[in-house]
């Protein structure tokens, strides 16, 4: 989710704060059983053919973007398109799109975005952590022996933090390679720009909550947990370093 929490807070909500209970209620209506089975770290905010000096430069840009983040981008005046992975590079190459988000450096480098779009922006405000699920027919799961059920649950849960740690350990190498060998410029959105994105995100939440009761139910629960967690989370927040700071 845009401006979503880091993995600790996200899993706290899902596993211990009632998030997965809400998820399970929804899937039960469709005869499904779900298990979190892997998570990945933040994505990059996007690859741009031209430098974006501020949020005002976003208006009129054609960009591949996904999900709720695309709704935010549209409020910035961006024309969004959802393209499959294999279609992004040709679209960038032909100028059909001016920019794209897709994933994290280890994946993006394989797709070659850096060959055309030399400006890579951070942080990935639209997707700070992504957790995927193993879905199974609920009746089929219920019919399994107890030890098979336990194997699925334990194996899936073990992969959640393993895969997250793996992605965190493997991103800086490709970033350094793209900078050193391919001239990629790493850019970071200003606090002012991020505030504009966040404001637009809150508008998306309000709009979707007004027209979709289920969305509102989940959003209200999620936001309430974040508000309560902030007492702890904000008290523990630190910068990466305090040396040489002004």
**CATH code of 84's domain:** 3.40.190.170
pLDDT confidence of residue 167: 96
pLDDT cut 70: percent of the chain above it: 99
pLDDT digits (tens, 9 = 90+) for 159-193: 999 999 999 999 999 999 999 999 999 999 999 99
Flag whether 243 is in a domain: no
Checking if the pLDDT of 245 tops 80, the result is no
Contacts of 32 (CB under 8 A, 6+ apart): 135, 136, 137, 138
* Per-residue pLDDT at 244: 79
Range of the structural domain that residue 160 is part of: 7-230
Answer whether residue 1 is part of any domain: no
Q: Tell me, what's the pLDDT at 240?
A: 87
- Give the total number of structural domains in the chain: 1
Q: What is the pLDDT of residues 8-35, one digit of tens each?
A: 999 999 999 999 999 999 999 999 999 9
In a domain, 241, yes or no: no
pLDDT reported for residue 165: 97
* Band of residue 105 on the pLDDT scale cut at 50, 70, 90: very high
Q: What are phi and psi of 193, to 5 degrees?
A: -65, -45
In a domain, 141, yes or no: yes
Residues 133 and 160: beta-carbon distance below 8 Å: no
The pLDDT-based confidence of 133 (bands split at 50, 70, 90) is very high
Task: Please report the pLDDT score of residue 223 as a whole number.
Answer: 97
110 within domain boundaries: yes
- The alpha carbon of 161 is separated from its chain's Cα centroid by a whole number of angstroms, namely 16
pLDDT of 209 > 80? The answer is yes
Q: Identify whether 2 is part of a domain.
A: no
- pLDDT given at position 246: 58
In a domain, 235, yes or no: no
| pLDDT tens digits, 36-94 | 999 999 999 999 999 999 999 999 999 999 999 999 999 999 999 999 999 999 999 99
pLDDT in tens, 138-163: 999 999 999 999 999 999 999 999 99
Residue 238 lies in a domain: no
């Amino acid at each position: 989710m845009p401006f979503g929490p880091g993995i600790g807070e996200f899993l706290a909500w899902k596993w211990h704060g009632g998030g997965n209970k809400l998820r399970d209620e929804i899937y039960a209506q469709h005869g499904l059983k779900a298990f979190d089975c892997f998570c990945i770290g933040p994505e990059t905010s996007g690859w741009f053919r031209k430098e974006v000096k501020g949020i005002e430069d976003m208006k009129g840009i054609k960009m591949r973007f996904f999900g709720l983040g695309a709704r935010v981008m549209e409020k910035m005046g961006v024309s969004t398109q959802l393209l499959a992975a294999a279609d992004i590079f040709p679209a960038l190459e032909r100028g059909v799109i001016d920019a794209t988000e897709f994933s994290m450096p280890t994946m993006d480098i394989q797709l070659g975005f850096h060959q055309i779009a030399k400006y890579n922006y951070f942080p990935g405000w639209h997707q700070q952590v992504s957790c995927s699920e193993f879905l199974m027919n609920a009746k089929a799961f219920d019919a399994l022996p107890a030890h098979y059920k336990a194997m699925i649950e334990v194996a899936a849960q073990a992969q959640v933090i393993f895969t997250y740690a793996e992605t965190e350990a493997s991103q800086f190498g490709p970033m350094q390679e793209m900078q050193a060998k391919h001239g990629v410029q790493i850019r970071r959105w200003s606090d002012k720009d991020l505030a504009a994105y966040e404001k637009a995100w809150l508008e998306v939440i309000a709009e979707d909550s007004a027209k979709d009761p289920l969305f509102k139910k989940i959003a209200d629960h999620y936001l309430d947990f974040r508000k309560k967690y902030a007492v702890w989370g904000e008290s523990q927040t630190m910068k990466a370093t305090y040396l040489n700071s002004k």
